[in-house]
A and B are shown apart, each in its own frame.
Chain A
Amino acid sequence: MSLFPRKKLTPHLQQLAQIPLFSTLSHAGLIVVEGLLHEREYVAGEVVFDEGEEAQALYIVLSGRVLISKQTSSGLQRIAELGPGQFFGDMALLDNSPRSAQARAAENCVLAAFFREDFIGLLETHAAIASKLSLQLARHLGNRLREALQARPFE
C-alpha cells in the first residue's frame, strides 16, 4: 500500500488521458489542461473551420467523427476522417498560418477546443505541462511528415 495513494481520475479526465497529446501528463497536469479546454457540440454537416481561415485553436474529437478535406483542382479531396481521441488543427498552436484544410462534422460530435493563447500562457505558468505537450505535438507532426514522405517518395 502506497503512502500517497494515486488519485483516481474522473471519467472525463480518463478520456483526456487517453488522447495521445495529453497521454504523458500527470493527474495535476490533466486538471490544468481540462480547465483550459472549451467543449463544443457540432451537428453532422456543420463546418468547424474553413481552409484559409485564420487559425486560433486546436480541436480534439471527444465523440463522433470529423472529416478533413481540401480543395484541389479536381474538386474537394478527402484527406482524413478522425474519430474520438484524435486531434486536428494542431498547427494553430504553433503559428498564425491559415488553416490548410477544411474540417466538417461527419456526424454529430463533441469537440474540445484548445486556444493558442492558452497554450502560450501555459508556457509561462506551467512550463512542465507545456513542454510535454510540445513534445507530443512534435512527435505527432514528425509522424505525419514521415507518412507524407512514404506516401510520396522522392522522385
Chain B
Amino acid sequence: MQFVSRPSSSGPLVWASIFAATCLLLFAFQKILWLVVPFLLACVIYYALYPLAQRLMLAGVSQEQAAAWVAGSFTLVLAGLLVLFSPWLTTKGVMLQELVDHYLDGGQEFLERTLSNIESTMPFFSNAHLSDKVHASLTSFTDNFAQAYLFPFLMTAASWLPSLLLAPLLSFFMLRDGQKFKRFLLQAVPNAFFERTLHLVHEVNQTAKAYFHGMMVLTVLDALTLGIGLWLLGMTSPLALGIITAVLAWVPFVGSVVGCILVVLVAATDFPTQPGMAYGAIGLFIVARMLDDFLYMPMTVGRKLKMHPLTTVLLIFIGGAIAGITGLMLVLPLAGIVMVFGQTIGGAMTDMRLRARHIHAVKLRRDIANRDL
C-alpha cells in the first residue's frame, strides 16, 4: 500500500507542550542538581574528547580501547595539572582572604571617590548624606564578606567536589558504552515507530553536541572580545581576566554581572588614581554583554539549536524565573532536546498510518498468543 507521509511542521499545541515540558524539567532538575551538574560536565568532557576517540578508532583501535585511552589520558592530564599547580593553589588559598579583602577595599575606595564626586556636583545627594550611608553599608558588607559569603561558598564548592569527580567517570562510560545504551533504549520501541525513534535519538545527540560546541565557540568569542577590550584599556592580565569572565558567562546574565564586578574591582585596585579604567571596564562589559546576548549567543548556541533568536532570549528569561541560576544555565540545552523530542513524538503521534501499523502489529501478536487457547 502506498502511503506518502507529508513532512509535518509542529503546531501551536506541540510548541506549548515543548515550553511546558521544559519548565517542568527545569523545576525537577533544580531538586537533583547533585546529579545534573556532574552529568552536564560529563557531557562537556564527552563532546570535547569524542573527536580524539574517533581519531583513535580511525587508526584501528576498538571503541573500548579508544575510550579507555582518551578518558585515561584526560584524567592523567587533569591530575598532573592539579599536582603541578597545587603549591601555587595552596599559597593562593591561604592568601585568598587577604586577596579578596584587598580587592574589595579597592572597590570600596573607588565607589566612595565616585560618590564624593557626585556629591560635590549635585548638592541634593550631599544633603542626603549618600556617601556616608553607602560607606556604612559597604563597610558592614566587606567586614562580614568572608564570614557571610566566602566561607559558605568555599564549603559549598568542597561539598560539590565528590559529585564533580563523577564527571570523568561518566564521560568514560559515555565514550565506551554510548552505542550499547542506544541499542538498549531502542529495544523498548515498537516496530512501527522504530525508524522515527532511531532518527530522534540521533537528533538528540546532534542537538546536545551542537549546544556544547556552540558554548565552546561562545566562550572563545567572549574571552577574545573581553581580552582584546581589556588589553586596549591597558588592564593587567587582560587574557586571564577575559577567560575567567567568559567562563563566568556560562551562567547567563548573573555570571556576566559577577564578571563585570570582578574586572571593575581589579581595575579600581590596580589603578587607584585612574578612575577612567574602571569606567572603561564597565563600558566594555556593557558592549560585550550586548554583543553576547544579541549577537554571539543567538548566532552560536541559538543557531546550533536551530532556535529563533527571540525564542532563545525568551527561554533564558523563563529559565531564570523558574530555577534561578540553574535555570539560566540549563534552559537552552534542555529546550533544544525537548524541542527535538516534542517535534518527533508530535509527528509520530499525529501520523495515522504509523499508529494504524502499530495497532495492526499488536493485533497480529495477540492473535499468535491466543492461537491455541
Contact = CB atoms under 8 A, between A and B. Distances in A.
A137 to B, nearest CB: 19
A121 to B, nearest CB: 9
Interface string A40-52: 1011111111111
Contact of B365 (A40, A43, A53): A43
A102 B244 CA distance: 58
A125 B179 contact: no
A115 B201 CA distance: 11
Contacts of B2: 50-52, 71, 102
A49 B361 CA distance: 12
Contacts of A76: 1
Contacts of B58: 124-127
Contacts of B192: 47
**How big is chain A's contact interface, by range?**
20 to 34
Interface string A63-75: 0000000010000
Interface in B227-255: none
A126 B196 CA distance: 25
A38 B361 contact: no
B355 interface: no
Nearest to A71: B2
Task: Name B's interface SS.
Answer: helix
B92 interface: no
Contacts of A49: 195
B1 A42 contact: no
Given A35-B63, A51-B3, A52-B3, A46 B186 contact: no
Nearest to A55: B195
B198 A56 contact: yes
Contacts of A32: 62-63
Interface in B40-87: 54, 57-58, 60, 62-63
B129 interface: no
A101 to B, nearest CB: 9
A127 B198 CA distance: 22
Interface in A124-147: 124-127
Contact of A38 (B3, B60, B63, B198): B198
A17 interface: no
Interface string B316-343: 0000000000000000000000000000
Interface in B144-202: 179-180, 183, 186, 191-192, 194-196, 198-199, 202
A47 B364 contact: no
A123 B7 CA distance: 28
Contacts of B195: 49, 53-57, 113
Contacts of A51: 1-4
B120 interface: no
A117 interface: yes
B1 A48 contact: no
A52 B3 CA distance: 6
Given A46-B191, A115-B198, A38 B360 contact: no
A46 B361 contact: yes
A113 B4 CA distance: 22
Contacts of B191: 40, 42, 46, 48
A79 to B, nearest CB: 13
Given A28-B62, A36-B179, A127-B58, A47 B360 contact: yes
Contact of A50 (B183, B198, B353): B353
Given A38-B198, A98-B4, A43 B57 contact: no
Interface in A57-108: 57, 71, 76, 98, 102
B274 to A, nearest CB: 53
A44 B360 contact: no
A55 B196 CA distance: 9
Given A45-B360, A54-B7, A117-B199, 7 more contacts: A36-B179, A38-B194, A40-B194, A42-B191, A50-B357, A51-B4, A53-B3
Interface of A: 28, 31-32, 35-36, 38, 40, 42-57, 71, 76, 98, 102, 113, 115, 117, 124-127
Q: List 6 tightest A-B contacts by C-beta distance, closest first.
A: A52-B4, A71-B2, A56-B195, A125-B57, A51-B2, A50-B3
12 contacts: A38-B194, A40-B191, A42-B361, A43-B364, A50-B3, A50-B353, A53-B3, A54-B5, A54-B195, A56-B195, A56-B198, A113-B194
